[in-house]
Amino acid sequence: MMTEFIRDHGSNHKEVRLPHGQLHVFANDEVFSALDHKVYQMADNNLRIPRNVYMSYTPDAHVGIGTCIGTTAVWDLKDGFVSPSIVGSDIGCGMRVHLTPLRKEDIQDKQLRREIIEAIERYVPTNERASSQYKDIRLEDVVTEGLYGLPKRYVPDAYTPKKTRSFTHVEHAKFSFNTDYLDEIPDKMWARAWGQLGTLGGGNHFIEIQSVIIQEENRHIAEKWGLFDGQVVVMIHSGSRAWGGMLGPRYTRDFKKAMELWGVGTPDPNLVYAPINTEQGQRYLNLMYSALNYAVTNRHMIAYGVREGLKDVFGSEFEMPVLYDLMHNYALKEPHRNRGMLVHRKGTTRALPPGHPLNSPAYKETGHPALIPGSMGTSSYIMVGKKEGEKNFYSICHGAGRVRSRRATKETVTVDQFSQSLKVGTEDEILVNQRTLASILDECPQAYKDVDQIIDSVVGANLASVVAQCRPMAVVKGV
């Protein structure tokens, strides 16, 4: 599909006129020119949904199911629409970073890093069919209360209320919703989701042990956050597992039936939507919040397992406080332009600037950490939002973004190329938990865009700035 008109606003911000509306794209020239023409077709389909207020792509945008990953789409709460397709199937998928007192040189030894990986795997199941180790946690408490639904034994700082970072240093510790909708959830879904709490999942989900390089211009922010050069941090990427995974298809079917009844649709059968104030819209939104509660709790429990593993290696006094936890697949009710909006983010990260009222109190002064993962063999980034990000509803990228499908990656990238990107055989080798690289070849760095170009696009658009670069040292992947 050819775009009819492109207006260049400068600062890596282009506005594309499509047949059914305007699409804003935040990307430098190199990234913009490489965008697949299919992303414009998908955007135009999305813009067919009535009364859209705003739609944009971050530089990591790539084709997804129904909607591109890297999409921010906004509707007014009064007369707008909600779309499960523009939330994504892994509801609440997001990032989490924990601080440690370790320095890079403390774990430079490859045998020690191998020991760390094995210790983590004792506590965090990485096999898709593995079951949760936390049978004393009530799933109903988790999906209704979020982190507050956990027994205190799983919240390391629960006994020091004034220092309970577990609840204060997260985007949301709990989402409130109408719990009556939970009565519609079948028993088999409850059972499966209960069995997955604290498990990693497959695909692009991971646990990484990383070393930090502070960006000089934001050193004062890094210090306030507790970051320092050479520090070892733990980055976690996971979502709502079976709970969100089963909600998406279930309610997508409901939306399709309703759309047929209303006589509406788009050329893409995978793109579904409904008015926010309909029964379908309210059911989905309320149950989506339950999945967000599950997702943040799942990442917390993964981190709990990592902490237990690192205690086995470094002693019982070892602690790793949370820096921040946030999501990049959801639809949030937010105030913008002096009215309530429903902001869909599918593969985009909220990055609020200093002083923004939606910041958690812990980050009111500085703005919160915006956590951007790389691709196993490349750096990840910790950023902070800028006031200018208001133009994009404070959304930035969520990662590098795929440049090849899983199948295409396996067909075009060799294990040797993957091995070279992980520096296998050198002192700086990025160790992975999988016995063969072939088993995770579809997640190799070559499957993704150049993350440095993605970050350059975001910084050049004045949406956010880099606080720290995080280089991988050891990676735990699920299969």
| pLDDT tens sequence across 297-356 | 999 999 999 999 999 999 999 999 999 999 999 999 999 999 999 999 999 999 999 999
Per-residue pLDDT, 128: 74
Q: Was 136 annotated as part of a binding site?
A: no
Angle at 350 between CA 422 and CA 227, to 5 degrees: 55
The whole-angstrom separation of Cα 426 and Cα 118 is 20
More confident residue, 382 or 156: 382
Share of the chain above pLDDT 70, in %: 99
pLDDT tens digits for range 176-200: 999 999 999 999 889 999 999 999 9
The mean per-residue pLDDT over the stretch 429-438 comes to 89
The answer on whether 208 is annotated among ligand-binding residues is: yes
Q: Kindly state the average pLDDT of the residues 135-139.
A: 94
pLDDT at res. 217: 97
Overall average pLDDT of the 132-156 stretch: 95
**Statement: residue 271 has pLDDT above 90:** yes
Question: pLDDT of 40-91, one tens digit each?
Answer: 999 999 999 999 999 999 999 999 999 999 999 999 999 999 999 999 999 9
> Any binding-site annotation on 81?
no
Residue 376 reports pLDDT greater than 90: no
Q: What is the pLDDT of residue 175?
A: 97
Exposed/middle/buried for residue 475 (C-beta within 10 Å: 0-12, 13-18, 19+): buried
Q: What pLDDT score does 83 carry? A: 97
Mean per-residue pLDDT of the chain: 94
pLDDT at 4: 56
Tens of pLDDT, residues 82-131: 999 999 999 999 999 999 999 999 999 999 999 999 999 999 998 877 78
Give the C-alpha separation, 4 to 338, whole Å: 32
Q: Please give the Cα distance from 361 to 139 (Å, whole number).
A: 28
pLDDT confidence tier of residue 436, bands split at 50, 70 and 90? confident
Neighbour tally for 182: CB within 10 Å: 15
Contact call for residues 182 and 337 (beta carbons, < 8 A): no
CA–CA distances in Å: residue 68 to residues 10, 58, 225, 401, 457: 23, 10, 33, 10, 18
The C-alpha atoms of residue 378 and residue 190 are separated, in whole angstroms, by: 37
Helix axes 110-123, 279-314, angle to 10 degrees: 130
Q: Is the dihedral of CA 259, 265, 271, 277 positive or negative?
A: negative
Binding residue per annotation — 373? Answer: yes
Cα 134 to Cα 194, 196, 197, 227, 249, distances in angstroms: 9, 9, 7, 31, 27
Q: How far apart are CA 250 and CA 193, in angstroms?
A: 15
Q: Model's pTM, two decimal places? A: 0.96
The mean per-residue pLDDT over the stretch 424-446 comes to 90
Residue 107 assigned as binding residue: no
- Determine the pLDDT at residue 46: 98
Residue-range domains of the chain with CATH: 5-83+95-403+448-477 (3.90.1860.10)
Q: Whole-angstrom Cα distance, residue 221 to residue 292?
A: 28
1 pLDDT more than 50: no
Catalytic positions, please? 398
Taking 90 as the threshold, does the pLDDT of residue 250 lie above it?
A: no
141 is in an annotated binding site: no
- 399 annotated as ligand-binding: yes
User: What are the φ and ψ backbone dihedral angles of 421, each rounded to 5 degrees?
Assistant: -70, -25
120 backbone dihedrals φ, ψ, rounded to 5°: -60, -45
How far apart are alpha carbons 326 and 172 in whole angstroms? 8
Higher-pLDDT residue of 475, 434: 475
Residue 2 has pLDDT above 60, yes or no: no
> Residue 465, annotated ligand binder?
no
Check whether 237 is labelled as a binding-site residue: yes
Q: Averaged over 408-425, what is the pLDDT?
A: 92
What tokens were used for 213? 């390089």
**Does the annotation list 421 as a binding residue?**
no
Phi, psi of 326 (to 5 degrees): -145, 165
> Is 204 annotated as ligand-binding?
yes
DSSP state for residue 245 in the 8-state scheme: H
